[in-house]
Amino acid sequence: MNNKPPTSSVIASYRRRRQQTNIIFVYGAAGLLVLAGLILLIVWLVSPSQPLGSLFATKTPTPTLTFTPSSTPISTNTPTITPTGTMTVTSTPSGPFSYTVQEGDTLDSISKKYNLGDNGILLIIQINHSIDPSTQIIHVGDQIQIPNPGMKLFTSTPVPANLQSGSKVPYAVQPGDTLAGIASKFNSTTDAIVTANNLTNPNAIQVGQQLQIPVNLVTPTVTRLPTSTPRTPVPTFTPIFSPTP
């Protein structure tokens, strides 16, 4: 007689064991999830400022840099062209330029510094009305004008021959000039010069100032030297006394 259990009972028994295994697996998974949640909660309570996502951050692979050796060119004996330095040309001033007087400066030293020549002092005076020609005093910090190279001294304009009376000629005031002296040079008058140039103060003319001079207004007078009158010598007689007999 066969004592084996029927097939249906075997299958039922297998199903029961399988259900028990599944239940154990489900409870185990649930327990793991609860344990993981507790761990995350503890970590968050310990450091609440740290985001939870950083706990699951994955490592980013660091790229590996592969250096490819570059070919180094072999130096050759090819001559190199050295650029020739260009000459710096100093521009020559076309007109007077400003200069600040330094400690120890004089008109003579400034004239020599800028190679103004023998007439350098007069050139500086004639374009700087603030400098007294008689004293030639300058002060540290004064702003003066320096003549440009090649500047000439202002010279008096000669009166052309047979020039009509009242004609005007240009004239640049020289150091030491006065209106009376200028009028004498051109056979003019002080009043005529003042009127022709609208001068408010006849005594305030400046060295280098340009004036229009009406010429030949007066006839030059010739001053004659005193002449001596010849005198006839008077003979002087010395009496001779003879002894009385």
Which residues make Cβ contacts (< 8 Å) with residue 145, sequence separation at least 6?
A: 96, 97, 98, 99, 124, 127, 128
pLDDT digits (tens, 9 = 90+) for 44-102: 777 666 555 555 555 555 656 665 656 555 555 655 665 555 555 456 666 788 999 99
| pLDDT per position as a tens digit, 141-198 | 999 999 887 787 766 556 666 778 888 888 888 878 899 999 998 889 999 999 999 9
For 5-26, what is the mean pLDDT? 73
Look over the chain and give the mean of its residue pLDDT values, rounded to a whole number.
75
pLDDT in tens, 110-128: 999 998 888 888 888 878 8
Q: What is the pLDDT of residue 168?
A: 86
- pLDDT value of position 106: 92
